[in-house]
Amino acid sequence: MANLLINTALRFLGSKQPTSLMRMKDISQVSVLLDSDSEDVLGAADIIKEYFAGKGIQLVFYPVRSKKLIRAHKDTQVLLSLVPRNSWHLEYVVRRSRARFKIGRFQLPGNVFDLVVSDPEGESYPQAEVFGRMMELVENLK
């Protein structure tokens, strides 16, 4: 019963904002969902801050804990999720986001993310490494 309610809410409350790939030069604001339960969260946060500061891009972090509801700002230009596993509250935030470009580590039903950089099956790369791969792909978009 709970899954039916959650799936119905996600279907009706999800953003209808169209999304697509964006070039780095067109990005001015990014919201990053970080896995706070991961050991590398502080190191990854420092790398991400330094990267976007060097590009003059406004950055907002949202820590994601496995057992805590996420409250992220819905209106952001780019939503980047470094969380390696799905949960209903992560999916809710991603689906509700009005971001024009969504990047993640796994695809959600309905192809919610525009760009996905996934780990090999059975492995989980550090957030900083996945972030580097994501930005490498975004920088190469023409």
Kindly report, residue by residue over 29-61, the tens digit of the pLDDT. 999 999 988 899 999 999 999 999 999 999 998
pLDDT band at 20 (very low <50, low <70, confident <90, very high): low
CA dist 81 → 70, 84, 142 (Å): 12, 8, 22
Mean pLDDT calculated for residue range 116-126: 89
Is residue 82 predicted with pLDDT exceeding 90?
yes
Is residue 5 predicted with pLDDT exceeding 60?
no
Dist. CA 139–CA 134, nearest whole Å? 9
pLDDT at 106: 93
pLDDT at 48: 96
Dist. CA 22–CA 138, nearest whole Å? 8
Total-model pTM? 0.83
Among 104, 54, 106, CA closest to 78? 104
Dist. CA 25–CA 69, nearest whole Å? 33
- The full set of domains in the chain, from first to last, is 2-139 (3.40.50)
Mean pLDDT calculated for residue range 120-127: 89
Is residue 22 predicted with pLDDT exceeding 90?
no
Among 138, 106, 139, CA closest to 20? 138
Beta bridge partners of 78: 30, 101
**Comparison of pLDDT for 66 and 130, the residue scoring more:** 130
**Comparison of pLDDT for 79 and 1, the residue scoring more:** 79
Is residue 16 predicted with pLDDT exceeding 70?
no
Mean pLDDT calculated for residue range 86-108: 88
